[in-house]
């Protein structure tokens, strides 16, 4: 058993890099990531585990980092949005969001990208319904989700759901 | 939303966990945290020590035995959804768990946490009561078994006493001639429940036994004796379900809130109960 | 300004031919048009992918809470648990005694530090209202801020805030916006003497004559438009630093209308505009709500001044829901609608009560802004609106997507559906008959607004085709009774009026020295020949970096990827005017108008300089891909870097005239062609453009529970020339989602004592992906004859989904006993509507026929 206390040393690997820090028991994982480690791609939108802006992957599982204490991540492997681009190049999911205009203000985007990543890892060919269910935990107030769903479809190599009368090819 | 200062400990065994829980009055077990962390953020509970039981392997097992299941309290909703054993023995449990809120919550939230919070809108309690589950509660005095329909005591209150934890949940095998139904009217897709019902109906052609559980019509899920009575001995048909649902009336005292008045909930409870029973009858028929 | 005047003015611009434009109005295109791209250039009209995406997709955006500064403290507001109470005392000693607490600022102290209360838009008596950065003497809503703490960490600040002891003496609360106007209601602001913030009558045509002479008069007792908010996913946040040495107050925040904020808080803080510096980079959604953070920003400035260190603040979601501002709630009472037997709706008469909450934030502008769309999409001529805005013990309202117009447009759409139901008209036919017709544009409304262009009947036709209306009508008939299901088809017709004439403020307060509108932009050729652009706007997802680059690239005939648009707004280096910001559906006109003007100036300078350098005539110079050459002689060329060198670092090679004329640093302020409206008659052109939204939905209702499912949904949009179709479509999706969410799920309710019932996304269900139908989209392009590029402002939408869903519910009810009279229809309310007949409740509609 670890020692009971209000502060604890923890060791956590984030995006392949190991960090050792001492944290207060009460510190939320999202605040550890944002405030302590200054990895600011993970956002906060609701404080109550509803909006999913703080979604990350911990030990292979998609979770909301505002619903977990930093001390609970001791020993964990964490993936955040900063892990997605490869050598500064957008990965296929990010490219699909870009191509399909799956983001506007970009605040919910890191969380949605992590949800899409997890979904496609576990289900490479999701149906439209599976995509909707897969991103249910991420609130987006700008896109109405339509282009987000299309982006995930494109990332999965599928045809995006039609509906638009104008679907011009990308100029670039 | 920031927590009050709190102590935290991660025990290595259930025994250590119980010891820690007994060590101070303000100790609380932390499982998936999908409700408790919010409670702590709201600073409404006086918790001084969090005992993190989420990683205890002893609490994370699913044992299947000829259709019966024993599920550790820290098994997550997602694990219930994806477990071949759960799907085989109690597919409804897997389905219901797979529709709790969202993927992130399903990856952390646990069956034990869903029960121990005793939030009347929670998904699993009415189903576990309908399935005749037994809650295995462990404390200093050892293990005691509490039937699911005696486990929920009130808003945010259960049969788990201070110093105890819910260790596992035993669900008996579904009788061969039984079917299970579950129906929810929610605010939106997989969102907060306005009214819920779960039913297990047993019998070939004629209903031998019926368990009908209503939720969000009071502080805890309730078995509706009147409806069960009306079902027993009647032909297993949709018409029976329809008539039996009429038994739900002024005997329930649902809450009123922005999602519906008591009267609306009462009327809809009839609908939701009938649908759950109809589904149970249909599924029972299919399994014959 | 009359329609004629507008036409003349539009025609006076040399590059636009009004005749050609009005012909183009009718040349509709359902798909993204290629012919417009020829007119506008290589990039405009194309779905160019967004420049902003790179950083946002990598988690490298810089949002307000991402900004940290040296020595900062964390701020936490102390907020009232009461809706209405006297502040008896505030004891900060326990909070101050906590280790790591820098300071606590109370309302009384804050007032002492201020020069004047916040500026009020309202005339007297409403204008007597005194608001300070924190509540003084009294709290007026659940969530009103009474003090603010600054401490070393976020957690500690919250700990300390809980130790601030405030003694309250509760007072009776008033939450109903209609009852608040009655004498005897508890008064919020004693200095006003009542709760009436503003009252006035808008009277156009002759409604009394129309009501007397119409074949039918339909009377509707009451319609209610509910409170909700677009709840941007990023809450308010800021770092405010009052530098004791220079007196400069730096505000890094996500406020979306910093110049308005600056004009309100500057005089209060006693800080001149050269010392009040707003900046922001990425803003996580705003939708109007983030206009309203200025009281907190003022409080944070004072907190920083008192503590002598920067104050960092990140609002929590519950704090946001309690106090960041809600959309306007409006009750429409005693509606009377004169209708002719042929279906012509002559107009309407209504008493509107707008519930502004506890303080006037941006209000009472909502009391006039609706009048941009006085007759909605219809040729109604006789309209009287008695408008009252009241103060109540609810959170102050703030502009929310579709601000003030969507309430009014929703009422009009309800009127049309109710008239159709009562008088047995087909709601589709009734709309067709009463719509402003394509040949009517530019159409002058009864209050002398000018609808610029559009084709509403064709839009409706497209919408009905997209949902295959005949199929659903057939299904509706087949279903009959006994199935337990009802099918409903609904239509919503709304307008998104863009580019405000701020002169409308004079209609609520003739003393206000406001009118017109504008935006500023710089386009420069910089040291190494780069084309650099900055604008006075504060986008929150509207893709200004991308679309500004498109239009500059078109004008300079280069690759849009080579045009650099500054990310974010910084008052130190972005150009701006008093109207700058991102709000009210206007960037495509004002922002791009400014960018185009500046780019053209730069193009002219480039041509002059290149002609000099290449010893050619100016009309021989061709711009192409970042260089200039002489027509038919591509070898005689000079790249932009060469021109930049001549003008910026080698200017002795120029003639004195050129040195005088050429800066390669071109600023342009776009100003729309507005006149000052007439405050007495409440008439005048108060908006430049009118984008239209015609939506149609098919819904299925479960009779037993009232639960509604959307089976099909289409949005047909017409916002004139489209600069980037994909971005426009995205805006339409978003506006549609927020409208559907509001119609079915999202509401802020207060109990009679003034307690807000929704303070998290548990209670306030923001619609999630599976709640949202994968909607269809079509568009028509009716170019605006009044704008530099034929584009219209868009993005807000007119709240069409609220109208559409209510219309579909009404259709599904198919029953005169039931009238959809509320904009928010959760399952229980639909359930109740389905039983209106058996409940025998008052349906609140009456028809009298001659």
Over residues C333-343, mean pLDDT: 98
Question: Average pLDDT, stretch C780-794?
Answer: 96
Range C201-227 burial, b when 16+ CB lie within 10 A, else e? ebbbbebeebbeebebbbbbebbbbbb
Residue C57's Cβ-side half-sphere holds a number of Cα atoms within 13 Å equal to 28
Q: Please tell me the predicted confidence (pLDDT) of residue C34.
A: 34
Nearest chain B Cα distance for residue A153, angstroms: 18
Note whether A42 contacts C: Cβ–Cβ < 8 A: yes
Q: Is A117 on the interface with C (CB under 8 A)?
A: no
In the predicted structure, residue C20 carries a pLDDT above the cut 50? no
Tell me how crowded residue C136 is: count the other CB atoms within 10 A of its CB. 19
pLDDT score at C179: 98
Regarding predicted confidence, which is higher, B44 or B180?
B180
* Alpha-carbon span C498 to C564, nearest angstrom: 27
Query: Which among B36, B60, B104 is the top mutation candidate for probing chain A, defined by the most A β-carbons within 10 Å of its own β-carbon?
Result: B104
Cβ atoms within 10 Å, residue C575: 18
Contacts of C111 (CB under 8 A, 6+ apart): C132, C134, C136
- Please list every residue in chain C whose beta carbon sits closer than 8 Å to the beta carbon of residue B197: none
Question: Which tens digit of pLDDT belongs to each residue from C665-696?
Answer: 999 999 999 999 999 999 999 999 999 999 99
pLDDT level of residue C479 (50, 70, 90 thresholds): confident
E strands present in C360-478: 382-390, 443-444, 450-451
Q: Looking at residues C149-172, what average pLDDT do you find? A: 97
* pLDDT at C202 > cutoff 80: yes
CB contact under 8 A, A141 and C729: no
pLDDT for B144 equals 97
Contact C612, C636 (CB under 8 A): no
Phi, psi of A80, rounded to the nearest 5 degrees = -120, 180
Q: Using an 8 Å Cβ cutoff, are B213 and B247 in contact?
A: no
Read off the pLDDT of residues C640-655 as tens digits, 9 standing for 90 and up.
Answer: 999 999 999 999 999 9
Q: How far apart are CA B30 and CA B16, in angstroms?
A: 14
Mutate to test the interface with A, among C68, C287, C736, C768 (most CBs of A within 10 A): C768
Q: Which of the pair, C822 or C27, is modelled with greater confidence? A: C822
Contact state of C770 with B192 under an 8 Å Cβ cutoff = no
pLDDT exceeds 90 at position C598: yes
What mean pLDDT is predicted for residues C196-223? 98
Predicted confidence band of residue C2 (pLDDT cuts 50, 70, 90): very low
Residue C118 — pLDDT band, cuts 50, 70, 90?
A: very high
The share of chain C scoring above pLDDT 90, in percent, equals: 93
Share of chain C above pLDDT 70, in %: 95
Residue C518 to chain A, least CA–CA distance (Å): 24
pLDDT in the model for residue C24: 30
Pick from B6, B102, B104: CB nearest A6? B6
From the list C351, C473, C348, C418, the residue with the least C-alpha distance to C820 is C418
Q: Give the minimum alpha-carbon distance from B164 to chain C in angstroms, rounded to a whole number.
A: 29
Q: Read off the pLDDT of each residue in C518-541 and give the average, rounded to a whole number.
A: 97
Please check the confidence at residue C144 and state whether its pLDDT lies above 90. yes
- Please determine, for residue C779, whether its predicted confidence score (pLDDT) is greater than 60: yes
Asked if the model's pLDDT at residue A168 lies above 50, the reply is no
* Weakest mean pLDDT among B52-56, C20-24, C88-92, C803-807: C20-24
Rounded to a whole number of angstroms, the distance from the CA of B265 to the nearest CA of chain C is 9
Nearest CA to CA, how far is C256 from chain A (Å)?
Answer: 13
Whether pTM > 0.90 for this model: the answer is yes
Residue A30 contacts by C-beta under 8 Å, 6 or more apart in sequence?
A42, A44, A54, A65, A66
Q: Tell me what pLDDT residue C817 has.
A: 76
CB contact under 8 A, C769 and A147: no
Q: Out of A41, A90, A147, whose CB is closest to C730? A: A147
Residue ranges with strand state E in chain A:
7-14, 17-24, 55-58, 61-64, 77-79
Give the orientation angle of helix C800-813 with respect to helix C405-423, to 10 degrees.
Answer: 20
More confident residue, C164 or C15: C164
Other Cβ atoms within 10 Å of C96 Cβ, number: 15
Per-residue model confidence as pLDDT tens digits over B119-164: 999 999 999 999 999 999 999 999 999 999 999 999 999 999 999 9
**Residue C785, C-beta contacts closer than 8 angstroms, at least 6 positions apart:** C7, C10, C16, C18, C21, C22, C25, C442, C452, C453
Mean pLDDT over the full length of chain A: 93
Whether C25 has a pLDDT exceeding 50, the answer reads no
Residues of A in contact with B37 (CB under 8 A): 28, 49, 66-69
pLDDT band, residue B265 (cuts 50/70/90): very high
Per DSSP, the three-state class of C765 is coil
Q: What is the pLDDT of residues C222-272, one digit of tens each?
A: 999 999 999 999 999 999 999 999 999 999 999 999 999 999 999 999 999
Which residues are bridge partners to C570 per DSSP? Answer: C279
Q: Is B223 exposed, middle or buried (0-12, 13-18, 19+ CB in 10 A)?
A: middle
Q: Is B16 on the interface with A (CB under 8 A)?
A: yes
How far apart, in whole angstroms, are the C-alpha atoms of residue C690 and residue C378?
13
Interface mutation target, options A72, A121, A123, A132, chain B, most CBs of B under 10 Å: A72
Q: What is the dihedral of CA C675, C676, C681, C685, to 10 degrees?
A: 40
Question: Which residue, C821, C812, C814, is CA-closest to C843?
Answer: C821
pLDDT of residue C843: 78
Q: Give, in order, the Cα–Cα distances in Å from C195 to each of B162, C84, C178, C182.
A: 52, 13, 10, 8
| Contacts for C18 with CB less than 8 Å, ≥ 6 apart | C7, C10, C11, C785
State the average pLDDT over residues A4-25. Answer: 95
The answer, yes or no, to whether residue C807 has pLDDT greater than 70, is yes
- Cβ-defined contact of A2 to B34 (cutoff 8 Å): no
State the average pLDDT over residues C809-833. 93
Beta bridge partners of A76: none
Q: Is B101 on the interface with C (CB under 8 A)?
A: no
**pLDDT classification of C842: cutoffs 50, 70, 90:** low
Q: Return the pLDDT at C584.
A: 92
**pLDDT at B207 exceeding the cut of 80:** yes
Which pair of structure tokens corresponds to residue C127?
């204008």
Classified as helix, coil or strand, C397 is: strand
pLDDT at C603 over 90: yes
CB C63 within 8 A of CB C282: yes
Q: Which of B133, B146, B126 lies closest to B222, judged by CA?
A: B126
Q: State the pLDDT at residue C838.
A: 77
One DSSP character per residue, C777-818 reads: EEE-----TTSTTSB---SS---HHHHHHHHHHHHHH--TT-
- Opening angle at CA C575, ends C573 and C576, nearest 5: 130
- No. of helices (H) and no. of strands (E), chain C: 25, 30
Partners of residue B192 in chain C, C-beta under 8 Å: 762, 765
pLDDT in tens, A118-162: 999 999 999 999 999 999 999 999 999 999 999 999 999 999 987
At A116 the pLDDT is 98
Average pLDDT over residues C159-185: 97
Q: Which residues contact C279 (CB under 8 A, 6 or more apart)?
A: C250, C251, C252, C253, C568, C569, C570, C571, C572
Q: How distant is the Cα of A29 from the closest Cα of chain C, in angstroms?
A: 14
- Whole-number pLDDT of residue A47: 87
First vs last C-alpha separation in chain C: 38
CB C792 within 8 A of CB C784: yes
Q: Measured between CB atoms, which of A5, A63, A136 is closest to B107?
A: A63
Interface contact B257, partner C, CB < 8 A: yes
Q: Which residue of A has its CA nearest to C60?
A: A41
Question: How many CA atoms are closer than 13 Å to the CA of B241, on its beta-carbon side?
Answer: 25
Residues within 8 A of A (CB atoms), B 50-89 only: 50, 52, 54, 78
Work out the average pLDDT over C579-587: 94
Q: Residue C826 and residue B96: Cα distance in Å, rounded? A: 24
- Is C152 in the B-facing interface, judged by CB distances under 8 Å? no
Looking at residue C840, what is its pLDDT? 63
CB of C832 within 8 Å of a chain B CB? The answer is yes
> Given an 8 Å threshold on Cβ–Cβ distance, is B192 in contact with C762?
yes
Residues of chain C with C-beta less than 8 angstroms from the C-beta of A98: 49-50, 53-54, 57
> Is C13 near chain B, with CB under 8 Å?
no
Each residue's pLDDT tens digit, A19-38: 999 999 999 999 999 999 99
> Tens digits of per-residue pLDDT, C732-773?
999 999 999 999 999 999 999 999 999 999 999 999 999 999
């Amino acid at each position: 058993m670890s020692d009971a206390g209000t502060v604890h040393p923890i060791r956590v690997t984030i995006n392949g890099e190991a960090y050792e820090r001492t944290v207060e028991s009460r510190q939320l994982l999202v605040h550890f990531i944002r405030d302590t480690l200054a990895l600011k791609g993970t956002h906060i939108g609701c404080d109550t585990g509803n909006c999913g802006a703080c979604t990350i992957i911990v030990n292979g599982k998609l979770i909301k980092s505002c619903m977990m204490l930093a001390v609970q991540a001791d020993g964990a492997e964490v993936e955040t949005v900063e892990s997605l681009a490869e050598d500064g190049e957008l990965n296929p999911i990010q490219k699909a969001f870009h191509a399909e205009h799956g983001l506007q203000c970009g605040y919910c985007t890191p969380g949605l990208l992590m949800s899409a990543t997890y979904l496609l890892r576990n289900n490479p060919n999701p149906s439209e319904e599976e995509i909707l269910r897969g991103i249910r935990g991420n609130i987006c107030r700008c896109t109405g989700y339509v282009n987000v769903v299309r982006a995930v479809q494109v990332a999965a190599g599928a045809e995006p759901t039609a509906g638009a009368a104008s679907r011009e090819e990308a100029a670039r | 939303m920031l927590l009050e200062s709190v102590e935290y400990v991660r025990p290595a065994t259930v025994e250590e966990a119980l010891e820690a829980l007994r060590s101070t009055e303000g100790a609380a077990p932390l499982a998936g945290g999908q409700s408790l962390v919010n409670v702590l953020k709201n600073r409404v509970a006086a918790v001084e020590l969090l005992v993190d039981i989420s990683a205890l392997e002893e609490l994370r097992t699913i044992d299947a035995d000829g259709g019966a299941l024993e599920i550790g309290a820290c098994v997550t909703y997602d694990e219930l959804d994806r477990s071949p054993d759960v799907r085989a023995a109690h597919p409804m449990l897997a389905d219901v768990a797979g529709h709790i809120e969202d993927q992130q919550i399903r990856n952390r939230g646990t069956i034990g946490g869903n029960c121990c919070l005793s939030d009347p809108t929670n998904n699993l309690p009415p189903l576990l009561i309908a399935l005749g589950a037994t809650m295995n509660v462990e404390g200093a005095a050892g293990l005691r078994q509490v039937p699911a329909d005696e486990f929920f005591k009130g808003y945010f209150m259960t049969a788990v006493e201070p110093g105890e934890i819910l260790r596992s949940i035993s669900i008996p095998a579904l009788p061969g001639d039984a079917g299970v139904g579950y129906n929810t009217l929610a605010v939106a897709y997989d969102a907060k429940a306005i009214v819920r019902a779960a039913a297990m109906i047993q019998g070939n052609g004629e209903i031998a036994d019926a368990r009908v559980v209503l939720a969000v019509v009071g502080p805890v899920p309730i078995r509706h004796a009147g409806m069960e009575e009306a079902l027993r001995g009647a032909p297993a048909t949709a018409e029976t379900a329809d008539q039996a649902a009429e038994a739900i009336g002024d005997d329930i005292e649902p809450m009123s809130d922005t999602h519906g008045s008591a009267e609306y909930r009462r009327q809809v409870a009839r609908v939701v109960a009938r649908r759950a029973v109809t589904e149970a009858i249909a599924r029972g028929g299919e399994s014959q | 300004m009359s329609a004629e005047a507008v036409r003349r003015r539009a025609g006076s611009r040399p590059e636009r031919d009004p005749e050609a434009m009005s012909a183009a109005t009718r040349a509709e295109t359902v798909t993204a048009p290629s012919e417009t791209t020829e007119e506008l250039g290589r990039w405009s009209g194309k779905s160019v992918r967004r420049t902003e995406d790179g950083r946002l997709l990598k988690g490298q955006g810089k949002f307000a809470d991402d900004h940290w500064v040296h020595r900062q403290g964390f701020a936490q507001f102390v907020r009232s648990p009461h809706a209405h109470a006297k502040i008896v005392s505030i004891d900060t000693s326990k909070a101050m005694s906590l280790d790591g607490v820098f300071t606590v600022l109370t309302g009384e102290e804050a007032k002492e530090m201020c020069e004047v209360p916040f500026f009020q838009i309202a005339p007297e008596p409403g204008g007597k209202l005194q608001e300070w950065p924190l509540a003084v003497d009294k709290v007026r809503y659940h969530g009103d801020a009474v003090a603010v703490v600054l401490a070393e960490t976020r957690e500690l600040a919250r700990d300390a805030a809980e130790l601030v002891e405030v003694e309250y003496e509760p007072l009776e609360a008033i939450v109903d916006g209609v009852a608040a106007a009655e004498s005897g209601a508890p008064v919020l602001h004693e200095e006003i003497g009542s709760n009436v913030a503003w009252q006035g009558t808008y009277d156009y045509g002759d409604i009394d004559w129309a009501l007397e002479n119409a074949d039918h008069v339909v009377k509707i007792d009451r319609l209610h438009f509910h409170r909700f908010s677009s709840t941007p996913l990023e809450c308010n946040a800021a770092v405010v630093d009052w530098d004791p040495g220079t007196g400069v107050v730096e505000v890094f925040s996500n406020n979306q209308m910093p110049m308005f904020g600056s004009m309100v808080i500057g005089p209060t803080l006693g800080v001149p505009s050269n010392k009040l510096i707003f900046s922001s980079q990425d803003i996580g959604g705003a939708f109007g709500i983030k206009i309203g953070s200025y009281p907190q920003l003022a409080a944070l400035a004072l907190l920083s001044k008192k503590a002598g260190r920067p104050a960092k603040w990140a609002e929590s979601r519950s704090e946001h829901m309690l106090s960041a501002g809600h959309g306007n709630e409006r009750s429409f009472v005693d509606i009377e609608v004169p209708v002719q037997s042929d279906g012509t709706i002559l107009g309407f008469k209504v008493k509107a009560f707008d519930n502004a909450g506890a303080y006037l934030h941006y209000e009472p502008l909502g009391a006039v802004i609706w009048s941009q769309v006085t007759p909605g999409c219809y040729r109604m001529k006789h309209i009287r609106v008695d408008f009252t805005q009241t103060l109540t013990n609810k959170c102050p309202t703030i502009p929310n997507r579709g601000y003030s117009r969507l309430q009014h447009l929703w009422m009009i759409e309800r009127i049309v559906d109710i008239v159709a139901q009562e008088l047995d008209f087909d709601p589709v036919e009734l709309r067709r008959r009463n719509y402003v017709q394509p040949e009517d544009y530019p159409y002058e409304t009864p209050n002398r607004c000018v609808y610029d262009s559009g084709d509403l009947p064709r839009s409706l036709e497209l919408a009905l085709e997209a949902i295959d209306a005949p199929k659903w009508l057939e299904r509706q008939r087949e279903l009959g009774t006994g199935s337990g299901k009802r099918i409903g088809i609904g239509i919503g017709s709304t307008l998104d009026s863009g580019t405000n004439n701020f002169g409308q403020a004079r209609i609520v307060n003739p003393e206000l020295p406001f009118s017109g509108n504008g935006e500023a932009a710089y386009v420069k050729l910089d040291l190494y020949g780069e084309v650099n652009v900055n604008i006075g706007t504060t986008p929150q997802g509207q893709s200004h970096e991308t679309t500004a680059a498109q239009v500059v690239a078109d004008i300079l005939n280069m690759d849009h990827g080579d045009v650099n648009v500054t990310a974010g707004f910084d008052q130190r280096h972005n150009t701006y005017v008093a109207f700058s910001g991102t709000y009210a559906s206007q960037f495509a006109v004002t922002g791009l108008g400014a960018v185009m003007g500046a780019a053209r100036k730069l193009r002219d300078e480039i041509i002059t300089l290149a002609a000099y350098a290449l010893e050619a005539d100016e009309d021989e110079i061709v711009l192409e891909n970042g260089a200039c050459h002489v027509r038919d002689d591509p070898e005689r060329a000079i790249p932009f870097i060469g021109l930049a060198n001549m003008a910026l670092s080698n200017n002795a090679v120029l003639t004195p005239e050129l040195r005088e004329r050429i800066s390669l640093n071109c600023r342009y302020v776009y100003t729309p062609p507005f006149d000052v409206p007439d405050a007495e008659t409440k008439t005048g052109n108060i908006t430049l453009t009118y984008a239209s939204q015609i939506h149609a939905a098919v819904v299925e209702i479960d009779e037993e529970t009232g639960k509604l499912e959307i089976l099909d949904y289409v949005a047909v949009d017409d916002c004139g020339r489209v600069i980037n179709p994909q971005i426009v479509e995205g805006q339409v999706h978003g506006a549609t989602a927020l409208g559907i969410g509001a119609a079915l799920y999202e509401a802020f309710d207060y109990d009679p004592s003034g307690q807000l019932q929704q303070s998290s996304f548990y209670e306030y269900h923001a619609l999630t992906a599976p709640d949202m139908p994968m909607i269809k989209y079509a568009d028509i392009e009716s170019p605006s004859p009044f704008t530099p590029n034929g584009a219209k402002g868009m993005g807000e939408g007119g709240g069409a989904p609220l109208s559409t869903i209510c219309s579909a519910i009404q259709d599904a009810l198919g029953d005169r006993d039931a009238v959809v009279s509320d904009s928010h229809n959760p399952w229980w309310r639909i359930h109740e509507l389905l039983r209106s007949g058996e409940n025998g409740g008052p349906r609140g509609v009456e028809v009298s026929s001659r």
